[in-house]
Amino acid sequence: MKYIRWLSFVMVFVLLSGCAGKAAPSALTPINLPMGYVANVQFSPFYVGKERGYFEKAGFDVTFDYRWETDGIQLVAAGEIPFAIASGDQVIQARSRGLPVVAVAAWYQKFPVAIIALGNTPLRSPADLRGLRIGIPETFGASYIGLRALLKAGGLSEADIKLQTIGYTQLAALTAGTVDAAVVYANNEPVVLAREGTPFNALYVSDYADLVSAVIVSNDTMVREHPKEVQAFVTAFLTGLQDVLDDPDAAFAVCAKYVEGLEENAAAQRGVLDTSIEFWRAAHLGRFEAAAWEEAQKVMAESGLLEQTVPIETLFTNKFVK
């Protein structure tokens, strides 16, 4: 079945390539793009890219796939889909297991994980984490890597804290007093607390470590054999991203078509968008820095999350970022 899907995908590209220099093809390449989360204003660059025809101009009919069980990395590695949204740690883990995935464009330029505590618990530096009961959604992925990076910055180890797996109940756990601090996404829970007027303290991973975050991922075959298609998709995404940075008001309006109930919770969701934008800004959108991949792989290796380390240059490419 995987072979048939990939063969069909390649045939579409052959047909499109044969139309070069002729009239634009009537059929677009369909893509189910795994988002890794529910519909949210954080995906505004993709919504803008679709709504303004950037993906269509690039030759793609994009459908957003919000199913939690969808493993974008596995599908891309198997050649069943050409692109997915993924975190840098997923790319590193996949590559360490021999999967032929590669990051082709950076999205987040700063790692969006933080540790927060209510106002009566000081968090002046990572060293203040010593002895605290810290809640975390899960002991893998970006949250865990962010925690380990902050512990390292404070000269601490996991043995110096009381770590509790609490799922995505961070604010409830903090309010109930079952934890002293919680690992959160910096563009989510802090925005909620600020809007509520609840005093809190925070340590932002990006202030202490340069780690790679959310990326657009493809595979070795696409990069090697279909670079024009990869370039077109990356350009469409980056154009949508630039539009959001240039005009957040218009981008937020576009999100209303894709995010159910946005109007009823507009103020809070606008806060999420504005905060997210600050994690996306860069002098050179889409570009990767090798140092961020090196640091991320080092933290993961020290945390026992990797089967083996891999050459940094195999994890990403900047060839599609103008």
Full-prediction pTM beyond 0.85?
yes
| Strand positions, DSSP E, 23-71 | 29-34, 60-65
Query: How many other C-beta atoms can be found within 10 angstroms of the C-beta atom of residue 229?
Result: 22
pLDDT at 316: 98
Last residue of a domain, one of 207, 229, 252: 207
Q: Which CATH number characterizes residue 196's domain? A: 3.40.190.10
- Is the domain of 227 the same as that of 87? yes
Q: Between vectors from CA 98 to CA 138 and to CA 205, what angle results, nearest 5°?
A: 35
Tokens standing for residue 271: 């806060």
pLDDT at 246: 98
Measured between alpha carbons, how far is 215 from 85 in angstroms, rounded to an integer?
Answer: 6
Measured between alpha carbons, how far is 216 from 19 in angstroms, rounded to an integer?
Answer: 27
Residue 138 sits at φ, ψ, to 5 deg, of -160, 155
Measured between alpha carbons, how far is 188 from 296 in angstroms, rounded to an integer?
Answer: 22
- Is the domain of 199 the same as that of 223? no
pLDDT at 273: 97
Domain that holds residue 308: 29-109+212-314
**287 belongs to a structural domain:** yes
Which residues is 68 bridged to in the sheet?
Answer: none
Residue 110 DSSP SS3: coil
Residues of the chain with pLDDT under 50: 1-25
- What is the domain count for the chain? 2
CA-based diameter of the chain, in Å? Answer: 67
pLDDT at 83: 97
pLDDT at 69: 63
Asked if residues 219 and 100 have their Cβ atoms less than 8 Å apart, the reply is yes
Measured between alpha carbons, how far is 3 from 187 in angstroms, rounded to an integer?
Answer: 40
